[in-house]
Structures are given as C-alpha cells and as structure tokens.
Chains A and B, each alone.
Chain A
Amino acid sequence: MPPSDPPPLLSLTGVSRSYGERVALRPLDLALAAGRCIAVMGANGSGKSTLLRIAAGRDAPSTGHVIYAGRVMSQDDLVVRTEIAVVGDMVSAYPDLTVREHLELVAVAHGAGRDRDELVDRALAECRLDDHGSALPGSLSSGQLQALHLATMLVRPRRLMVLDEPEQRLDPARRRWLGELLHAEKQAGAAVLMATHHVELAAAAADHVLVLSEGAVAGQGAPGTALAALAALG
C-alpha cells in the first residue's frame, strides 16, 4: 500500500495454511485500512476462501500472524465477532423463522435495542426484500437467500466486512446494486475484504486487487493492473 495510506485495521504477515500435506495458502502479507477495499481474485481452489476465513478469525494460520485493530487476532475473539461482518459461509437458515425474524435475531445478538425494527426495515428495503419479510427461507429463490445473507451485515455494527463471493446467485441488477453498496460502505469508513470472480464488481468496489494462484500471490496492484495479471493467468 502507498505510504500515505492510513494505518491498517487488518494486517496479515507471513500467513500460510496447510491441511495435512496439502498447502492451501502459501506465505503472504496483506494490509487493509479503514475505508479501503481489497478484492481477492483467482481460480477455484486458489486459496481465496482460506485467506478470508483466516482474516475473519474463523481459522488459524499454520504460519504467520494476523493483527486486527492493533492486536493479534485469536480464533473466536469476542471483538472480532463484534466488529467483523462475514458473508459467505452461511449455508443454512432456520426453516421456521421468517426473513424478518432472521434479521431480528442477528440485530439483537449484536445489541440492537429499540432501533431493531428500523434497522431491519432499512436492511429489507436496501436488499429489496421488503416484500419477503414474512416469507420462510424455503420459499425464497437462491438469489433472494443470498440477499438475505447480505442483509444480515446491514443490521449489525461493522468495521470490517469479509465477503466470500458475495455476488454469487445475484442477477445483473443486484450485482450492480452490490457494487454500489460496497462503495457506500467504504465511503462510510468500513474496510472490505472480498473474494470474487466478478471482474466488474472488483473494478467497481476495490482499491486494490490481489490475484491468487495455487495458494500464492500471482499479482497485485490497482484494479486495472491486477486484472490484467488475472487475464494473463487465464
């Protein structure tokens, strides 16, 4: 990052991850400041999700360390759970809770009080789910379920957002909306770390693109430069 950038909120130094003999992520460094967005790109199996899980405090690196807000991040850290919004590894939903109730649950778990209803209404409207507030998850399309997962981060406080392929299953209009949303979040001061396969989304939201290939950094830089490196990888 250029020297004029603010101090990083999240920094990874020499972080790698192995599962038995399989190396999922080779040692890499990464620094992300508030109000900035890094997009991680690369083919399937290149280590994007592993990197994001470590950055979100959901997995421990095999080597190296992760510093969040000035202190070494540990797994299941309470501050991490309070400040980092994660979207990507939610695979299920309570079959008996409505869309609104899911959001209420997350809002309350993050300390929402009287403003709960307002927060939920705003998130439903933002994610174009206001007609589906009383729907059960089983009746939603996969794109609407993804919108629900994105809505969960809007009803909670967030300093850092870790998003694993947030564009998946969204139609083109919603993908454009997602780009605008991430841009707005960034402007408001959130740091965003996102894995994506969508070049337009990366170009719209990211300040920096990191390209991974077989667990190692294959290229990085401003979106234009790095996306060219990605194209060269095929």
Chain B
Amino acid sequence: MTVTREAIAVPDSTGPTISLLRELRRGRGRQRAASAAYWAYLIGLAVALYGGSEIAAAFHALRQPPAATALTVRVSHAAPAGLAALALVVLLVLLRDGLWRGPVTLPQVTVDWVLGTPVDRGRLLRPRFRASAAVAVLAGAAVGIVPAAALVGLGLLGGHGSGSVLRLILVAMLSTALLFGFGTGVAAFVERSATAARWVRRLTPFACALAAVLGGLAVWAAVGKPPSVLSAIAVWSGPWGWTVPGMTALAGGSARLWPAAVALTGAAAVAFLVLGFFAAAGVPGAALRVRARTIGAMSAAVLSMDTRGVALAYGGRASGRRARLRLRPPRRRELVLLWRDLLALARAPSRLAGAAALALIAVGLVAVAGPGGHAALVPVASALGLGYLAAAWLCEGARLDAEDTRRSENLPFRFERLAWWHAGVPCLVLLVVAGVPAVAASVVTGSARFVVLLAVTVPVLVAGALVNVFRPRHHPDLFGGVETPVGNTAAISVLLWFVWGPLLAVVPTTALLISALGPSRPGVLARTVVVAIGLAVGLCTYAAVRARRLRSA
C-alpha cells in the first residue's frame, strides 16, 4: 500500500476502523463514564440537600392540587395561545441550533483523523444523531413537567385528585418530548442542506413575529374575550400548537380533539426522526469541520467561564464580511482611543442598536417610576440594570483591550489609563440616546431634574461596566472557595466575579435615584450629583487599578 499511478479500490474499512478506535479509546470511555456518574452524583446530592424540602412540598401540592383563585380563569383562557407561543420559541431554538451545531456533530479529533478517510460516514454519523435524538426526547419529557406543574400550581386542577394531575403531567411530558423529537429531526435536515438552512434563516423573523402574535393573543385572552376561533387557530396552526390541546384539555379546558393533536405531533416527530436519521449520513464534511471548530472554541470558553469567548465562538461562524464604515483617524493623539472605540462600535452595529434600545427602555422605566419611594424600587432598579447592560455593550473597545493586553502595547498610553479613555464613547452615546427623551421630559415638566440625573447616572454605569471589563482572569481557585461555618464560599466568589461591576454601580445608584426622584427638597439634587460624581470617579479609579493588575498578571 504505497504510491500508485493507478486507481485505488475503495476499501471496506469501516468496521475495522470503528472497532480499533473503540478498542484504543476504551480506557477514556470508562474514564468519561465515571466522570459523568460522579457529576450526576454531585448534582443529585446538591438538589437533594438544597431543594429536597421544596421538591417534597411540590409533590405534596401536586397530590392535593391548590384550589382555583380569581387568576385561574384568566390563566385557563390564556393557556392555549401562551403555551403555543412558548412551544414555537422552543421549536425555533431547536431549528436554529441546526444552523451552527445541530444533532450531528463530531469531536475535532475525529474530524481531523477519521473524516478524511474512506470510512462510511453513515456509520460514523448516524449513531451521533441517535444519541442526540435520545437526549432531546428525554430533555423534552423533563421540560414538559414545567408547564404541567405551572397549570396545576395556578389552580386549574383545584378539586381534582392526584390521578388527574398525573395524567396531565404524563401528557405534557409526552407532548413536549415529541416536539423536541420533531425539532431534532428537522434540525438534521438543516445541518445537511444549505437550502434548508437558508429557509430557517429567512423564516426566523416571521416565526418570532408569530410567537409575538400568539403571546399577544394570550394576553388578550387573559384580560378580555377574543373570538374563540382565534384560540383554535393558534393551537392548530402547526406542530408547535399541537402540543397544547392535550395539556389544556387535561387541565380542565375544552379541547375535545386533543388525542388527535397528540397523534399528529407523534406522527410528525416519528416521521422527521426517521428522515433525520437517514439525512444524518449526508451532512457535508465542510459543515462538520466548521461545527467541530465552533464547538471546540465554545467549550473552551465555557470551561474558562469566558462568556465573551462563547459569544465570539458563536458569532465567528459568520465570516467573509468586509468592514463597510470607515472613520478618518484624528490628528490629535488624545482622540485616538475615542476614534478606536467608535470604530469598534461601527464594526458591531447590533451592539449600538441594542444598547440604544435598552437605554430608551430604561428611561421609560424611570419615567413610570413616579415620585420615588418604595414603589419606585423595582422600576428604578430595573432601569439601572438595563442601563448597565447598555453601558456594558458599548464598552466594546475596552473589552478588546482587556481580553488581550498585548493589543494596546503600541499605543502611547499606560494600560491603566485606558480605563479612563475607554469611558468616553459609551458615556457620549448613552447621553445622546437617553438625553433626547430626558430633555423632552424636562421641557414638559419644566424641571431640569431628569437631565441632571441622567448626566450623573450614565458615568457611574459606564464606570461599573469598566470595572467588570478589567476583571482579573478567571482562576481555578475561584471554584475552591473557603470553608465557613455556613458553607463553602465558592458559589459567592464565582457570582461576584461576574457581577462585581454591576453590583457596585447599580445598587448605590438605585438608592440615590429613588431619593432624588422623590418630593423636591432643597439640597437633595445637589447631594445626589456630588455623590454620583464621586462614585463615578471612584469606580473608574478602581477599574484602572484592576486594569493594572490584569496587565501585570
């Protein structure tokens, strides 16, 4: 078997290759099984320890379902369209999963060492599809418990026995398992065929719109009385709706044809699982290579708790784009970082649009918060949370420097000073976007309070975002924590690693804003301004300190 000028007969090597690979990797397989069993044990133990009493209480409640309340009737009216909307969203997620990952994937090493050989792709890929389908169906069955438990908990089976509850749960589990199976089968087609993938991309906005319409119909049914035909259309509009009549009928609603709906879902699921099984063998090698690379990058990012790395791995699939928008570089060196940050946003316009939308919603929430006090707590805290997210999205330039500190080595600035410079563009964008409605509100009310509060809140949120941007690299010790009389601190330290910036920015600003939005008292606004400026400067200084530590680590 060497070099030849003649045609080479395709060998029948699939069986021996798979056997050899299995034999060589037997030890690793055992190791992985042991590791999976250990994790299952740990998770089971944690659930039993921390949620045991809640689970027992839930089971008890399901045996004796809670009685109906005033809300129950509204829930029963809203359930058909609401559940159909949820099922549609789940189905969309499953189908879109087929665009970048899908049920048929191979590990990178198998792609590199086996995919290029004459081994029969069907025998390599179909078991992968079978395993994914089995996992999806089991996950679907588990997910089905949630809507069933919610319907019971909201009183729809009040007065019924545990038999009714059990029947509802079983039908819900069956329906969602079949929906997941159907979605997995179709996702295999999406993986195999570029045309199917194109259709999924094209139809996604329409599916989202349909889900929104179904959600709107559910709200309408809860508060009003839409024609019953609309509800019927919602549940018979497609496979997403067919999962619903079984649940609503067994939860006391009227859906006489529910067995037909379950049968339809079952037929669709079985048909597409069988077709997906055969389609799996034809997934192109190029698609498998790209997917293996993406999954590898994403797994590495997940293991190192790098949420940005996960997003980059997901977004990295779309390549081949050219940068359209160009900005002339400034002549003054002081402006070069502002120019660089504006470019970063120009190259990621979705961030800019998303941040603008969040900022506008945040302004709206502050406007409805009313005159401060306890009632304003939730809207103000939510507004500041959204405002923080908007600021974090706009800190793209800072994030690019933080994720690889070598990138800024050619700039004439010390690394810790970058934190200050990177605050400029996010502050500017947020002030412009949120400033328009704030100025309008000030003109209408005749008070400049909104504008002043916005002007001092934005820098605090941006500084908080920069504190998070320049957080230290994730370290394995983080998971170790410290043993204390009330337990290990690992969960808290991991949580703080993620939310330290927003915590430092949002919590004190919430208190400040609630007090400043209250009845006008002399000195309150001035005090708020002074404290907020101090907070912004303090947080930005802290971000600079973190940046210096990050650089020297």
Contacts and interface: CB of A to CB of B under 8 A. Distances in A.
Whether chain B is bound by chain A comes out as: yes
Interface of A: 18-22, 34-35, 58-60, 69, 75-76, 78-79, 81-83, 86, 89-94, 96-97, 101-102, 104-112, 115, 119, 155-159, 185, 188-190
Contacts of A18: 320
Contact of A157 (B8, B16, B320, B321): B8
The 7 closest A-B pairs by CB, nearest first: A111-B11, A19-B320, A20-B320, A109-B117, A189-B5, A188-B3, A109-B17
Nearest to B117: A109
A74 to B, nearest CB: 10
Contacts, number: 127
A108 B24 contact: no
Contacts of A105: 17, 20-21, 24, 113-114
A158 B116 CA distance: 13
Given A91-B112, A108-B16, A157-B4, A76 B284 contact: yes
B27 interface: yes
A66 B479 CA distance: 53
Contacts of A22: 320-322
Given A35-B5, A119-B1, A158-B3, A59 B286 contact: yes
B294 to A, nearest CB: 13
Which of B28, B320, B321 has the most chain A CB within a 10 Å cutoff? B320
Interface residues of B, number: 40
Given A82-B11, A90-B112, A158-B2, 17 more contacts: A20-B320, A22-B322, A75-B285, A82-B8, A83-B8, A92-B108, A92-B112, A105-B17, A105-B113, A111-B12, A111-B13, A115-B1, A119-B1, A155-B1, A157-B3, A157-B8, A159-B7
B10 interface: yes
Given A104-B20, A108-B13, A159-B8, A96 B28 contact: yes
A86 B229 CA distance: 61
Given A75-B285, A76-B121, A94-B109, A110 B13 contact: yes
Contact of B285 (A76, A90, A110, A185): A76
Interface in B1-47: 1-13, 16-17, 20-21, 24-25, 27-28
23 contacts: A20-B319, A20-B321, A22-B320, A59-B286, A75-B286, A79-B7, A81-B117, A89-B112, A104-B24, A105-B20, A105-B21, A105-B114, A106-B117, A109-B17, A110-B1, A110-B118, A119-B1, A155-B1, A158-B2, A159-B7, A185-B3, A189-B3, A190-B3
B119 interface: yes
A78 B117 contact: no
A157 B2 contact: yes
Given A108-B16, A109-B13, A90 B7 contact: no
